[in-house]
Chains A and B, each alone.
Chain A
């Protein structure tokens, strides 16, 4: 019965007990158990990517009125496996003048940076890699390692397009880290802890997406920018940058960047589900921990589905639009949000929880509406300026028309 309710936790307990039974010292048991856990989790996550790639290609295919992969295996399920085998057999090409160490380290670091994120995320009530007391900061700090891997790839390739792509990507990542951190502070404030487990536990009554919808929105937008997905996929702008930082990579090294990208997209959805959608919480998840895992995966797939919808439907931002959105909208909004939430929380400290939540929601919605109004006014002003320039120089427009006509 215990096995049925919590198979993962049961296996872990059995494994630790078996290790202790071998007569090893307690420290070694701990180290070996953690190492095995890391190995299993990393392998599982990497294999899971195979399924993710299929899922995403199938969905994008549906959006674009195609079938998606449908040849290998039932419903094309084995297509990524075939792709993987193909990529294994490809030749490694190292460009002339490449910085070999940086060039080879970059793909490993890219995958490692994503896998490190899984170590602090609670997968169910009983299964968590390690409950770090600064877990949320850790999640963001590890993103810095990912940035390093892109720089290494761009620099090591000895190719100016790779370098330019890496620069642009890292500039984007650093910029969007600011609203990401600031909006992640709102759940930290609500939960009163930086530990990810603590944040999940604090969402017992009501999910943070309900309490702080504006923070959730900012976090979601910033995390899509962090994974470089459409509409923020400026690094893959073929006409400008060929293909970004990874153009000089081939074979399995390219495959590792590919895996890192997909896994990062899924992991970011997992983080969103954990921080804002209550993690493994759900009816009956405390009595039957395996249900918590199912709930978490369901929530994550909902979020992931939304990111794929974004990718399939939204056009790409221009780089100045992307930077404007970050520095002129998201960052001021998240700063204002933190202050407003702190004030609202301080004023309603003695009221019952329902009124507290209502105050938070009200503050969030007000700020969102205000931002919307300000953006509208700014857009109207800009439209006026553009109009003035257009009428002021009629010769230019007619000559360009003439030119294109020929």
Chain B
């Protein structure tokens, strides 16, 4: 086992453990903080895949924006200071069964594929080429249509979020 593998295993274990804590923590705030740790672990996984751009974007978008939004909404939707009672639905055993089955099926099917055992070797430094990615995102032969759609979606989502969440004064009475 070399250094890179050790880094991967450590990051994977940390993120899986904290992901488990995210779905099992009783206090919502703790779940949100565990989520941050999971996201950082995934960022380290991206680094081991030699995609430093997405590692940084992961921190920027997920930790810097999404996790903080989630923490804000945890704070805004608490009825009391502590989250009392069971945080799990009564049918969680069924959900657990489904999830375990899904995991077994996923890994089983992947193991049938001949590329499953391939070793990921180190890519040449020009592989992580942001210039190529940027050009592909805006070239008509590449992804310009999905890219524009994504930006329209983002704008629509932002405007929609503001319209939904805004606290209209006239509705407060009812």
Q: Which residues of A contact B36 (CB under 8 A)?
A: 148
Question: Contact: A138 with B56, CB < 8 Å?
Answer: yes
Question: Contact: A102 with B52, CB < 8 Å?
Answer: no
Question: Contact: B63 with A145, CB < 8 Å?
Answer: yes
Interface status of B157 (Cβ within 8 A of chain A): no
Question: Contact: A144 with B64, CB < 8 Å?
Answer: yes
Name which residue of chain B comes closest to A136, CB basis. Answer: B56
Question: Contact: A144 with B130, CB < 8 Å?
Answer: no
B124-142, CB under 8 A of A: which get 1 and which 0?
Answer: 0000101000000000000
Sort chain B's interface into a size bin.
20 to 34
Docked pose: A276 CA to B31 CA in angstroms:
41
Interface status of A208 (Cβ within 8 A of chain B): no
Q: Name the distance in Å between A181's Cβ and chain B's nearest Cβ.
A: 8
Q: Name the distance in Å between B48's Cβ and chain A's nearest Cβ.
A: 15
Question: Contact: B59 with A142, CB < 8 Å?
Answer: yes
Interface status of B49 (Cβ within 8 A of chain A): no
Question: Contact: A151 with B130, CB < 8 Å?
Answer: no
Docked pose: A354 CA to B120 CA in angstroms:
48
Q: Which residues of A contact B67 (CB under 8 A)?
A: 148
Set A141, A170, A194: member contacting B68, Cβ < 8 A: A170
Number of interface residues of A (CB under 8 A): 25
Interface status of B57 (Cβ within 8 A of chain A): yes
Question: Contact: A167 with B60, CB < 8 Å?
Answer: no
Name which residue of chain A comes closest to B131, CB basis. Answer: A192
Q: Which residues of B contact A145 (CB under 8 A)?
A: 59, 63
Set B3, B64, B75: member contacting A143, Cβ < 8 A: B64
Q: Which residues of A contact B65 (CB under 8 A)?
A: 144, 174
Set B52, B59, B75, B128: member contacting A144, Cβ < 8 A: B59
Set B33, B57, B128, B130: member contacting A152, Cβ < 8 A: B33
Interface status of A6 (Cβ within 8 A of chain B): no
Q: Which residues of A contact B57 (CB under 8 A)?
A: 137, 141
Which residues between 47 and 102 of chain B lie within 8 Å of chain A, taking CB atoms? Answer: 52-53, 56-57, 59-60, 63-65, 67-68, 71-72, 75
Question: Contact: B68 with A147, CB < 8 Å?
Answer: yes
Interface status of A233 (Cβ within 8 A of chain B): no
Q: Name the distance in Å between B129's Cβ and chain A's nearest Cβ.
A: 9
Query: Could you say which of B52, B56, B63, B67 has the most chain A C-beta atoms within 10 Å of its C-beta?
Result: B56
Q: Which residues of A contact B53 (CB under 8 A)?
A: 133-134, 137
Q: In the A-B complex, list the 8 residue pairs whose CB atoms are closest, starting with the nearest.
A: A144-B64, A141-B60, A141-B59, A137-B56, A134-B56, A144-B63, A141-B56, A134-B53
Q: A133-B128, A138-B56, A174-B64 known; 19 other A-B pairs, CB under 8 Å?
A: A27-B3, A99-B29, A102-B33, A133-B130, A134-B52, A134-B53, A134-B56, A140-B60, A141-B57, A144-B60, A144-B63, A144-B64, A145-B63, A148-B63, A151-B68, A167-B72, A170-B72, A174-B68, A194-B130
Binding site for B on A (CB under 8 A): 27, 99, 102, 132-134, 137-138, 140-145, 147-148, 151-152, 155, 163, 167, 170, 174, 177, 194
